[in-house]
A and B are shown apart, each in its own frame.
Chain A
Amino acid sequence: MALPPPDPQFVLRGTSAAVHTLHFSCGGPEPDIPLLFSGSENGFIHVWNLKTHRVDTTLDGHGRKSVYCVETMGAKDRLLSQGRDQRICLWDLAEGRTSVTDSVFTEHVGFCRCSLLKVAQGRWLMAMAARSLEEVQILELPSKTSVCTLKPEVGAKLGMPMCLKLWQPSCGSQPVLLAGYEDGSVVLWNVSMGKALSQLICHQEPVMSFDFDSEKAKGISGSSEKVLSIWSLNEQQNLQVYKTHELVNAGISDITIRPDKKILATAGWDHRIRIFGWKKLKPLAVLDYHTASVHCVSFSDHSDPRDRLLAAGSKDQRISVWSIYAQT
C-alpha cells in the first residue's frame, strides 16, 4: 500500500512575483547558514535563510526585468545572475555587501540560461546565448574574453538555443557543451575547436530544459510536449536516444538530477513536480502543491545527505521546499 506523497517541509512566501530560478548554497561548514537564492519576475533576487525561512537580502540589479538564472561561483558570496535586461551580473556578497562587481551585456533577448564551468582556480568558462539567433558564445570569466562562438552550419535551422550545459568529460580534458535548441534537437559541441560533434533530434517541440549525468554519459530532456527523452553519449561522442517516457500532462519547464545521481525532479506546466529514479526512470512521486505552472526545481548541495532538500519555484509566487528520499 503506497503512502500518499509527502507535504512540503516548508514553503517560502514573499517574492511577490513568479519565481523563475533557484539555487542552493548549503555546502559550507557548520556556522554558515544554508541559503537559497531565488530569482523572480519582478527583477529581484532574494537570498533566503533556510534556518529562519525568511529573506536575508534582496538584490536589485536587473532593472526590474525578470531574473531567470542564478548561480554561485564557488563560494556563496560570489553570485552570478542573468536577467531579461540582457545582462549577466556578477555580485560580491561577502560581509553583507550587495554590489554588482561586473556585468556582461549579452544582447540576448531569449530565456536561455547560461552555464558555468570551473576550469581552474578563479577561472571559469561561461556559455551563453549570444545576440545572433542560433549562436552560443563561450566567455572566460572573470576576464570576459571570448573563447569561441559556436555557430551551427548554414541552413541547419536549429532556432534559438534554449538550454546549455558545459562540462568536462574527464579532468583536464577539453570542455564540451551540450545545447538544446528550439527545433527539438540537442547538439554536442567541442568548445576548443568550435565544431559540432553530434546532433540528435529529441523532440518535436523546443527543448525546454535538460540535465546531463557525466558519469553515466546519459542525459534527459523535457519539452512542451508530453514526452521526456533520455539519451546517451557513446565513446565516439555520438548522441543516441536511449528511451522516452510519456507524461500525463504536457509541458516541462525544468529538469534536474540530484547530485548523487540517484533521482531526478521535473517541473511541470501542470503545476506538479515529478520525481523519478534516474537509473531506470521509474516514476517515484508526484508532488502536487502548487496552483500554477512550476518553473524551476533545484536540489540542495548539503554535505550531510540527510539534510538534502528539493526546492521548486512556481508562477504562484511560492517556493516549496521538500525533503524527499533523503535517507539513502
Chain B
Amino acid sequence: ICFIPGGVDCSISFVSHVLGKVCAHGRQKEILGVLVPCLTDLTKSDCIWQRICWQLVERVPDRWMEAVVLGFVQRASGADVLSRLLGSVVVKSKKAEFVVTRKMLLLQYGHTTAVLQNLLGYLSLDSLRRTLLLRVLQELLETWSSSSAVKHSPAEQQLYISKAILICLSHLKEPEIENCRQELLTSMMEGVKCHLDSSLPQLRRLGMVVAESISLKINTEGPVLKFEYEEDDEIRELKSFLMHTPSFCAVPSLPDDDRSEKTGAALPLVPESDEESYTAAPMMPKEESHTELDSDDDFIPYDMSEDKELKIKAPVYIRDCIEVLTGSRSEDVDKWEATVKAIESLVRKNPAATREVSVELAKTLLLLEEKTYIEGFVELRQRAQVAVLTTDPIPVAKYLTSQFYSLNYSLRQRMDILDVLVLAAQELSCPKFHGKNKHSGAQKPCIQLLPGSDSSKDWRRIVDERIKSKTRRFDMVQSHAELASRPNEFNSVAGYFFFPLIQHFDRPLTTFDPLGEDHLVLGRLVHTLAILMYLAVNTVAVTAMGKELLEFVWALRFHTDSYVRQGLLSCVSSLLLSVPTERILADMTEELLETQSWLGDVMEKDPDGDCRRLALQNLLLMENLKKKLEAVPS
C-alpha cells in the first residue's frame, strides 16, 4: 500500500481511520512495516510530506491512537525520524501523550533500548516537547526512589526505568538541570538508600550507577559520588547512555536516516576517572659493572653465601600461634603476619594438637582483626576457621552456632560464621570438592558494600546442575552409575551444624533482628540451611532436618525480601533432593501438599523472576517424586 501524492488539499482523515483500524486489529507489523520506511524517505526532504504525515497521525481516532503511536515508536529508526513522522502529536493529543509519557515508560517495560532512546530523544528534540521530557524524568525518578517500588517490582522493570533515567539525563541541558537540581538531589538521596538496602546485588549496582550518574550531572565541579562495584556488560551499557550526545536533526535535509543510529553506535569512550598510578620518578641509569675486577682494591671479600633474604618464622606449635594472634606482644607484627599465613597448614598438619585447643582457637580466629595489611587476609582467616572446624567439628560447631545468635557481633561476623559452616560442611561431606571450589582470590581493596555471596552463587549453580541431572535421572528407568561412594564425615555432625541455627531465628536480640531489619543475614541464613540440607543427603538426621526445615519455610514463606524467598525455595529443593522419597511421602504428606499449592502460587504471582523459576523447579521435582513412587511397585 503505497500512496502517491494526490492534490495538496486532500483530506487525510479517511486514511488515518484506515490506518488506525488496521493497527488496532493487530496488523501493525504489516502495514507499518511498509508505511514507515516509505514515509521516512518521503519526509526527509519534503516539508509537505512531513505535514501530511503529521496530519495522518493526528487524525487517527483516540481509540486506535495507542496502537498507531506504539507502532511508530517501535519502528522508527531514530529519534529524529520519529520527530519527523509524529511531529507534535504528543502535545496535541491527550491519548498520544499518555501512551508516550506514561504507558511506555512506567507501565510497560518490555521495550528495547533503541526504542527507549528513540522515544526520549524524540521528546527532547522540540522545545514544546521538552517540558514533557522534564515531567517524564520527574516521574521516573519518583518511581526509582520509591522504596516499595524497589522492593516489589521485578528486576527487569527496574533496569528499564534506570535506563530511561540515564537517557533522559543525557538529553538535559544545563539551564534545565539548574532548575531541577534540588529535586534531582532529593530523589537521588532517597533512591540510593532504597537501592542499597536491597538484598539483591543487581539492584544495588543499579542504584549505584544511577546515583553516580545523577551526581555527575548535578555537580559538574566539585566532588562527585563514586561507588566501588564490579563492572559488567549491563553496567557498561548503562554508563554509555549518559555519555550519549543527543543528535540535533530538526533540519530535514540529512545525509542519511541512520545518523542518530551512528551517533548512538560511535559513543565517545566513557572518560572514567581512572586513578592513574602516579608516574614514578625518572629511572636512574644503571651501570652494571659488578663483574669488573678491581685491580687496585686489594680487599679480599669474605664468604657471603649465607646472606639470604630474611624470613620471619612462624611458630611451630598451635598454642604459640594462639598467643601470637591474641596479641600479647603487640610490637611483633612480623611474627603476627607470619602466623596468620601459616596457621591453616599448621592446623591441618596437627589435628591432635588442634583438638586440644579447638574452641579457643576458633574464638581467636572469629575475633581476629587485621592488625597490619596482609593481602588476602579475609580468605586466610576463613580457611583457618574451616580447617579448625573440620578438624574438631562438634565442639567448634556448637561454639560457632551459639555465637551466631549472641549479642555482640557485627552482621559481617555473623555472615562469616555461616560461610565457615557451609565450607566446612562441604569439605566434610565430600573431601574431593575442597580443591575444586574456587574462592574469591585477592582481596579487593575498596569499600565493598556487602560483598556478594560468592559461595552461595557457586552453590546455587551446583545445586541447579544437580537438580537438572536428577530430574533427568528420575525419568530414566535404569539407575546411572553412582558417583564413587565414600564415607560421609558430615553424617555424625550434621545435626550440630543445622539444628542450633534453625532454632532461634525468631528471637530478636538488641543487636540482631533477623526477622526485622537484618533481613540480609536472614537471607544468608536461609541459603546456608539449604546448603546444609543438601549436604546432609544420606545422613541419619536428614529426615528430622527435613521436617524442621519445612516448618521453617512455612513460617517465612511470605517474607517481603526476594533474596529470602529465593533461599526458602532453595531449601525446598534441597529437601526434596536429600530426604529419601519414602520418608518424604510417609512423614510429610500434608505439609507437602500445602507446599505444593504455595509453590503454584509463587510460580504464578511472585514478582521476582528467580523465585518463579525456582518454584517451577520444585514443582517438577515433586512431580518426579510422585512418578518415581508410582513406577515402583509397592
Contacts and interface: CB of A to CB of B under 8 A. Distances in A.
Interface of A: 2-6, 184, 201-202, 204, 229, 241-244, 248-249, 262-263, 270-272, 277, 279-280, 282-286, 288, 325, 328
A66 B410 CA distance: 42
A5 B299 contact: no
Nearest to A278: B297
B306 A285 contact: no
Given A243-B287, A272-B307, A283 B301 contact: yes
27 contacts: A3-B300, A3-B303, A5-B302, A201-B282, A202-B284, A229-B284, A243-B286, A243-B289, A248-B307, A262-B297, A263-B299, A271-B310, A279-B296, A280-B294, A280-B297, A282-B290, A282-B294, A282-B297, A283-B301, A284-B301, A285-B301, A285-B302, A286-B302, A286-B304, A288-B307, A328-B298, A328-B299
B309 interface: yes
Contacts of A243: 286-287, 289
Nearest to A251: B310
B312 to A, nearest CB: 11
Contacts of A4: 302-303
Interface string B271-289: 0000000001110111101
A263 B294 CA distance: 13
A249 B310 CA distance: 7
Contacts of B290: 282
Contacts of B289: 243, 280
A286 B306 CA distance: 8
Interface string B31-48: 000000000000000000
Contacts of B304: 2, 5, 283, 285-286
Contacts of A202: 284
Interface residues of B, number: 25
Contacts of A6: 302
Given A271-B310, A280-B289, A241 B302 contact: no
Interface of B: 280-282, 284-287, 289-290, 292, 294, 296-304, 306-310
A212 B280 CA distance: 26
Nearest to A269: B310
A286 B307 contact: yes
B337 to A, nearest CB: 15
A249 B309 contact: yes
B281 A201 contact: yes
- Ranked 8 nearest A-B pairs via Cβ: A2-B303, A285-B302, A286-B307, A270-B310, A5-B302, A241-B284, A201-B281, A243-B287
Given A243-B286, A244-B284, A286-B306, 11 more contacts: A2-B300, A2-B303, A3-B300, A272-B307, A282-B297, A282-B299, A283-B304, A284-B301, A285-B301, A286-B302, A288-B307
Contacts of B309: 248-249
A282 B301 contact: yes
Contacts of B302: 2-6, 284-286
Contacts of A2: 300-304
A286 B309 CA distance: 13
A324 B330 CA distance: 38
Contacts of B285: 241
A260 to B, nearest CB: 12
Contacts of A5: 302-304
A288 B299 contact: no
A184 B294 contact: no
Contacts of A3: 300, 302-303
